[in-house]
Amino acid sequence: MLRLFNTHKVRKVQSLEGEWQFQPLGKEASPYDGDYGYVLPVPGCWEMHPRFSTYQGRGAYRKTIEVERETALRISFQGVSHTADVYFDGRKVAHHYNAYTPFTAVIPGVKPGRHEIVVEADNSFSEASALHIANDYYTYGGIIRPVSIEAVPDVYIERIQFTPIWKDERWQGVVNVHVRNIGAESAAIRLEGSLGGASFRIGERQIASNESCVVTVTRAFDGVEPWSNKKPRLYLLEAQLFGDATDGPIDDLIERVGFRTVTTQGGFLQVNGENVVLKGFNRHEDHPMVGPSFPYQLMVQDVELMLGAGANAVRTSHYPNDERFLDLCDERGIMVWEENHARGLSLEQMHNPNFERQCEDCNREMVESHYNHPSIIIWAILNECASDTEDGRRMYKKQFEQIRSMDSSRPLSFASHHRERELCFDLADIVSLNLYPQWYTDEDPGELCDRARQWADELGGLGKPMIMSEFGGDGYYGFREPTRVKGTEERQADIIESNLAAYTQRPYVSGMFIWQFCDCRVSEATGWLLTRAGTQNSKGIVDRYRRPKLAYETVKRYFQE
């Protein structure tokens, strides 16, 4: 399953979910040598194969496809972990870094017959990878998210970007349709749209060979209902592309959109002008049975558990999520803080020569591909990186500017653990703090929260909403003891209780995200912080298998109020 709704009626799309041949590759080995002696499911990670449960290195996947009629082919990858090189009939057609963002390869003039796709994946750590490093979550290997092939005409729709606007007491929307011409000839095109039963003209254009363009229309959409977490109303937005040679559409793209605004005024966060308080979880996309490659059923299970606890929000810590999960959040009314991929990088790690470019790509791919999800109400960057240094600040500033230039409709934030040393609160729209009172420190959560507000006010965050973006403590599932010592489920529930009691009472807190929804696998690394028992971060409110711990009931009491 690629999405939770059909994205095309005209364009032919084929999912490449299923069996792919696989072989591990030595450091210098070519994907064109070797016998491909294994069969692995796609999407999936190789760690689910008993032979490769801790394998870190290169691996090659191979698949033969059948093409009926000559066409351009667009191969669409939702996520390959963490570096991908893609070959089509022996020729390299794409290179991509970052497990958590999508990319495509377009091959013009593919002849009828059998063709071979080879995907080389690499999940090893080296200087080449600034973001995937040994960390407090696991970098799996393989084609971890769905792959599909699409037969596209020479001129085709690349993407649609829809921005809802509430103006003059009515809903309006800006529809941007990105079109690309990979043919040898210039082409005259016309775009028609529809939304909620109303059809409209998007525009006409002449588009030169090997050029891309954006066709835009801004119009009112009367009669639509807004999206909110309580009533998540969604609309299909369809764009059809017409050439001058035929009567019918030559290509199309369907997106699903919602009408809502997000603002930060008077120190609060508003959706459609109404103050909201986000109550939710930090969630790693990780499961012991499937790694990061969630089938739909397991995504639904997570959503049910979060909603069952009374949550109205989720933070996609610490990377962009599988688009089907975002589709579910749109449908179920879960407000999303989506962030780029980075966790806990020191200034030295941010000085990796690849860091800035890899972040820039990640930011662009995240915003472009997830722009239309009404559930996403915050973009964030660089969790717990060196925002307490001058050069770190330069990089935060640059990344915020990049995201703002692509999307000015959503507030921006970052989660900081630097307390009174923080230097970047003024750059964000929302001030967010990761603090672990009662776990890493003995502080009182309420007092600490008041101090945090003071730091925010003094350090550039005056008048901005504040979110407690991480708090919590370990609880080993099944470890219960009247002593309530650290690590018991009882102690974890106590910690969650004292934190939630403090934050839910403070009117200046616009959101709270518990660390974390589920226990997750972490890298086997040295250094005290990452030497986690069982290579697992055990701060989940449910364990890796989604069995609720005692704290689940505590959360429910506070979130359901």
* Binding positions for ligand ADA, rule: CB under 6 A: 136, 343, 383-384, 417, 434, 470, 515, 537, 539
Smallest distance from ligand ADA to CB 109, Å: 46
**Residue 196: left (phi > 0), alpha (psi -120 to 50), or beta?**
left
H/E stretch holding 398 reads helix 390-406
Smallest distance from ligand ADA to CB 528, Å: 11
Residue 330 or 470 with smaller CB distance to ligand ADA = 470
Smallest distance from ligand ADA to CB 118, Å: 34
Residue bearing tokens 């900081």 = 416
Smallest distance from ligand ADA to CB 470, Å: 5
Q: Which residues of 187-213 are buried (b: 16+ CB within 10 A; e: fewer)?
A: bebbbbbbbbeeeeebbebebeeeeeb
Residue 153 or 540 with smaller CB distance to ligand ADA = 540
State how far the Cα of 76 lies from the Cα of 138, in Å rounded to an integer. Answer: 24
Smallest distance from ligand ADA to CB 453, Å: 19
Q: Tell me the residue nearest to ligand ADA as measured from the CB.
A: 136
Sign of the Cα torsion 499, 500, 502, 506 reads: positive
Residue 39 or 529 with smaller CB distance to ligand ADA = 529
Closest CA to 127 of 344, 353, 347, 343: 353
Residue 63 or 318 with smaller CB distance to ligand ADA = 318
State how far the Cα of 495 lies from the Cα of 385, in Å rounded to an integer. Answer: 25
Residue 251 or 384 with smaller CB distance to ligand ADA = 384
Q: Which two tokens stand for residue 289?
A: 């049975």
Residue 187 or 345 with smaller CB distance to ligand ADA = 345
State how far the Cα of 534 lies from the Cα of 549, in Å rounded to an integer. Answer: 18
Smallest distance from ligand ADA to CB 136, Å: 4
Closest CA to 341 of 367, 359, 368, 324: 359
Residue 98 or 383 with smaller CB distance to ligand ADA = 383
Residue 58 or 284 with smaller CB distance to ligand ADA = 284
Per DSSP, the three-state class of 437 is strand
Smallest distance from ligand ADA to CB 384, Å: 5
Residue 180 or 544 with smaller CB distance to ligand ADA = 544
Residue 132 or 343 with smaller CB distance to ligand ADA = 343
274 contact partners, CB below 8 Å, separation of at least 6: none
Per DSSP, the three-state class of 272 is coil
Smallest distance from ligand ADA to CB 434, Å: 4
Strands 211-220 and 170-181: antiparallel
State how far the Cα of 412 lies from the Cα of 378, in Å rounded to an integer. Answer: 6
Q: Is residue 375 within 8 Å of residue 276, measured between CB atoms?
A: no
153 contact partners, CB below 8 Å, separation of at least 6: 71, 72, 243, 250, 251
Smallest distance from ligand ADA to CB 46, Å: 24
Smallest distance from ligand ADA to CB 532, Å: 8
Would you give the end-to-end CA distance of the chain in angstroms?
36
